[in-house]
Amino acid sequence: MSSAAVWHEVECGGYAADLPVWERLAASGGAVLELGCGTGRVALHLANLGNEVWAVEVDPSLISALRARAAARGVAARTVCADVCSLDLGREFELILAPMQLLQMLGSTAARRTALERVAGHLPPGGHLAASIVEAVSASPAGPRAALPDVRELEGWVYSSLPVASLVGGGTLEIHRLRQAVSPDGVLSEEEHTDRLDALSASTLESEATTVGMRPAGRLEIPPADGYLGSTVVVLERP
């Protein structure tokens, strides 16, 4: 397993507060496409419930880890290594999911608009996009004791990742992490890692979506849990 896949599993693999929301949305039936699927936390969960699931991820090492996990569990999920900003799968999906603040991690408003255009092109009339966002203006700066570290043992190694959230200029949210790894023979290594989330409100996302042919179709809330910030799922519909 690659380093990227290991840390994705450590930092995201145990998160479950959003799963009831994705289950509820997928319960209406039809094919589900997950964007930014990582190692398959959401995709494999929904596939295990009997949904037809396609999973897209730009990092080939994460796709490889997802395929291995799916095979080990005997779960079927169609995987595609692709960039959401140039997505062209040649078919439509009744439901497209963008968990874990994916749309805020694209780096710019222009990139997010391009992604929304690509998503709209994969939705049939009546199809939905559901995107999880953190509205940075409502997030409070967190000190180092605001959360417990994510800890996972994998193949004899013990991994720990301590998240610290902070607000920077313009309401942008940065998640700083202290990553530590202890080898089977007790050697400690550590590094710092930062994820940057573009400032984005639900109303702004809804407004941007209207420019590419989608319309607001509701909002759902995911509560804070186990050191993770709460988030809003913005649901958008193609008329």
pTM for the model: 0.91
CATH of domain 138-197: 2.20.25
Strand ranges (E), the chain: 32-35, 53-57, 78-81, 95-98, 128-133, 150-154, 157-167, 173-182, 188-197, 215-222, 231-237
User: Over the stretch 24-82, which tens digit does the pLDDT of each residue have?
Assistant: 999 988 999 999 999 999 999 999 999 999 999 999 999 999 999 999 999 999 999 99
Tokens of 68: 């291995």
What is the pLDDT at residue 169?
72
So what's the architecture of 3-136+199-237 in CATH? 3-Layer(aba) Sandwich (3.40)
CA atoms within 13 A on the CB side of 223: 3
Where in the chain are the domains? 3-136+199-237, 138-197
Q: What pLDDT does 147 receive?
A: 67
Each of the 239 residues of the chain gets a pLDDT tens digit; together they read: 899 999 999 999 989 999 999 999 999 889 999 999 999 999 999 999 999 999 999 999 999 999 999 999 999 999 999 999 999 999 999 999 999 999 999 999 999 999 999 999 999 999 999 999 998 644 444 443 456 889 999 999 999 999 887 777 777 888 899 999 999 999 999 999 999 999 999 999 999 999 999 999 999 999 988 767 789 999 999 99
Select from 105, 98, 87, 110 the least CA-distant residue to 36.
98
Query: According to the model, what pLDDT value does residue 166 have?
Result: 77
Q: What is the pLDDT of residue 145?
A: 42
